[in-house]
A and B are shown apart, each in its own frame.
Chain A
Amino acid sequence: MSLLQRIEDAVARGPHALDELVATTEFPHVEGRSVTFLFRGEAQEVSLQHWIHGLPGSLPFRRLRHGEAWVLQLDLPPRSRMEYKIGVSMFGRGVMLRDPLNKHTARDPFGANSVVYGEGYSPPEWSLEDPEARKGTIEDRFVDSKVYGDWRPIKVYRPARFRQTRRYPLLVVHDGFDYLGFASLQQVLDNLIHRQEIPPLIAILTQANDRMREYAADPRQADYLVKDLVPQMEQILPLVREPSARAVMGASFGAVSSLAAAWRHPGYFGKLLLQSGSFVFTEIGDHDRGPVFDPVVKFVNEFRKAPGKPADNVFVSCGVYESLIYYNRSLVPLLQETGMQVRFREAHDGHNWENWRDRLREGLSWLFPGPLWLVYE
């Protein structure tokens, strides 16, 4: 008997039977490429709200026998992740809920979503707490920004066994506080350094005051990084002062800002890590993404006309469930033509922090290869 038949059978037998089924079956239930969602509750309409590009944004559940059980079956490719909420409507009023039957959630700056994993997916072990990994430290500081005319909060990640006498590569992270909170960045850096997959490095975690403006290819942000942030950090931290040891990264608008900074100051950052970049451009006419994208589109269009060679190495990743996949795929050959070394990775995932977390190992270890093969402590 299929799961759907078992659910229908339990519904027919009454609430106790359904209680028993729910108690013994994990929901959402993933079997092969199929995932079954179950919602129990009083409602007039129930829907799955998700952010998978190409599917209708709202997928209706089917009510079973006019009762309080609703089901939905979807195709979910192996090793994929899907974040979602359940929309429940009654008497014209709707609410968005995390799935009460699903213990897995993914956090982001706006709260948390439920998340379902395709068969074969599990959070990468290198992103989890490793008791063996020595821990780096995080220090709060402020940068005196002449460019913005204010003091900007940053966090400085120093690797475990940090020594002032040694010189370290630098990783500048847009939305760095969010990478810490939602993409386990400190744990990831600690683990990758511990495993020698990347060398010990210093990360400067930045956070914008007005993100949608400053990260939208704003020339001030590029100048802030190059004229304020990095030089001030070089005064107080033992950094290798060479482009080849300097990387800038970000996701979404943070990726736009990273590329724009490298483009406006070519050769300053030797390495770029661009995750799900909002690289929207236009060939004909105007874009339909709203005014906040105007400076982004203007920059990407200019970049496409004259890309130059912003850096030496660039790692680009994007989820195939994102609408941005088209723009990222379009960007890759252009980057390759510049003579940069380019690595592009697509994932069965969406525009979210866990996607960005899951790509960090490949991106960082490619940009900053560690002494893995040579160190046996």
Chain B
Amino acid sequence: MLTSAILLGPQRHVRIVKPALDALVPDDRRPVALASPGWEEREAEDMEFRDHVGREVVNLEVWARVERIFERDRELLAAMRERHDTLRRVQELYRLRLQGALQAIRELMGRPGKDVWLAAERHDALVMLQGIDAQHVARVQQVHEEFEARWRPAERSSVQREKRELQQRLGDCAALCLAGGHIAVLLHRLRLFDVLGLHGDRPVVAWSAGAMALCERIVLFHDSPPQGGGCTEVMEAGFGRVPDLVALPHAKKRVDVSEPRNVQLFARRFAPSLCVLLDDGSRIDWNGARWSAQPGTHRLGEEGWVEEAGA
């Protein structure tokens, strides 16, 4: 676990990384590291970020490093593609059971009545749903473990070379800034170099997908997608560097908070973790012992309402 981290909402319109850095490393003149592999080929386009933070910035170029590794190490590229296909399959299979379980619990929650039998069914359906999520996380973990055991990416020279350079860049940085973007790309590329491990216990400011990656579980969500029914699903375990929180970036656009049962189910499914809505201007701070949210940062409440996250 980190001793200090700040999670933020999207930074395109309301930029608050600078005050977050100022709060975590106020008088530190050392550079800050930027990891933005989730931006993929736009990773190097960091001028707006540099202008905003007004500090020396070291771009770790995580995405580009992995691209270089793929060019040199075709075997690893093929192995990672195969893992990608396996993960997609595991996710699809999980989704089949998940959809049935969600349908059942939604129906149970929609039934009128307060009798013990209905309450018992609702409780058991929720436990089953949480169990399906947990089993999925374990299966994905198994995929990663088998991949690591077979291909030992950290021991490959192609990876070691880039990792050494990355470690040097990260060396004296005061803090790490973890940007958003494509969550799977971000997670898997950071993991390849163990960026969080190299960074150690120095402070982290993370936003959008970056914030999701720091948490114990990565939850994918959209209540009104153009295709399908919008079943919230767990992707896999995150880095687990901050506890008891599910980060939900762009929540205003993605979560239907007008429907209390939807809010209630979301919150209860991931309890005791807090489901925090990371919209423009949202900020929640971790000090190694507890969370404290800035006013205006909200969470999904187990009673079905959106509440101040600091309440």
Residues of A within 8 A of B (CB): 132, 161, 163, 165-166, 192, 195, 197, 361-362, 365-366, 369, 371-377
Contact = CB atoms under 8 A, between A and B. Distances in A.
B182 A375 contact: yes
Interface in B221-264: 222, 225-227, 235, 249-250, 253
B181 A372 contact: no
A372 B180 contact: no
18 contacts: A161-B42, A361-B226, A362-B226, A366-B226, A366-B227, A369-B227, A371-B182, A372-B226, A374-B184, A374-B220, A375-B38, A375-B182, A376-B180, A376-B181, A376-B183, A376-B209, A377-B38, A377-B180
A165 B41 contact: yes
Contact of A377 (B181, B225, B235): B181
B180 A197 contact: no
Interface string B162-194: 000000000000000000111110000000000
B68 to A, nearest CB: 15
Nearest to B247: A376
B220 A373 contact: yes
A195 B222 CA distance: 11
B67 to A, nearest CB: 11
Contacts of A197: 225-226
Interface string B183-215: 110000000000000000000000011001000
Contact of A373 (B38, B208, B222, B249): B222
B10 interface: yes
B114 interface: no
A188 to B, nearest CB: 12
A321 B220 CA distance: 39
Given A366-B226, A375-B181, A377-B12, 6 more contacts: A166-B41, A365-B226, A365-B227, A373-B222, A375-B209, A376-B10
A138 B182 CA distance: 27
Given A161-B42, A166-B41, A374 B182 contact: yes
Interface of B: 10, 12-13, 38-39, 41-42, 180-184, 208-209, 212, 220, 222, 225-227, 235, 249-250, 253
Contacts of A369: 227
- List the 4 closest A-B pairs by CB distance, nearest first: A365-B226, A376-B209, A376-B249, A376-B208
B205 to A, nearest CB: 16
Nearest to A363: B226
A132 B279 CA distance: 14
A376 B278 CA distance: 10
B155 to A, nearest CB: 29
Nearest to A165: B41
A361 B208 CA distance: 25
Given A197-B225, A362-B226, A377 B10 contact: yes
B226 A373 contact: no
Nearest to B13: A132
A239 B209 CA distance: 28
Contacts of A192: 226
A38 to B, nearest CB: 36
Contacts of B220: 373-374
A358 B183 CA distance: 31
A376 B220 CA distance: 10
Contacts of B209: 375-377
B222 A163 contact: no
A179 B160 CA distance: 52
Nearest to A369: B227
Contacts of A376: 10, 180-181, 183, 208-209, 212, 249-250
A270 to B, nearest CB: 18
Contacts of A361: 226
Contact of A163 (B41, B181, B226): B41
A372 B224 CA distance: 11
| Best-buried of B12, B42, B227 by chain A (most CB within 10 Å) | B227
Nearest to A198: B226
A374 B212 CA distance: 11
Contacts of B180: 376-377
Nearest to B253: A195
A362 B209 CA distance: 26
A199 B9 CA distance: 23
Contacts of A166: 41
Contacts of A161: 42
A61 to B, nearest CB: 41
Contact of B183 (A132, A365, A366, A375): A375
A225 B226 CA distance: 29
Contacts of B249: 376
Contacts of A366: 226-227
B181 A373 contact: no
A195 B250 CA distance: 11
B208 A377 contact: yes
A192 B226 CA distance: 10
B79 to A, nearest CB: 21
A133 to B, nearest CB: 12
A377 B180 CA distance: 5
A374 B41 contact: no
Nearest to B232: A373
Contacts of A165: 41
Contacts of B13: 132
B209 to A, nearest CB: 4
A204 to B, nearest CB: 23
A362 B13 CA distance: 28
B17 to A, nearest CB: 14
Contacts of B39: 377
B11 to A, nearest CB: 9
B181 to A, nearest CB: 6
A202 to B, nearest CB: 16
Contacts of A375: 38, 181-183, 209
A161 B183 CA distance: 19
Contacts of B181: 375-377
A377 B254 CA distance: 13
Contact of A372 (B12, B41, B222): B222
Nearest to B220: A373
Nearest to A197: B226
A373 B12 contact: no
A347 to B, nearest CB: 15
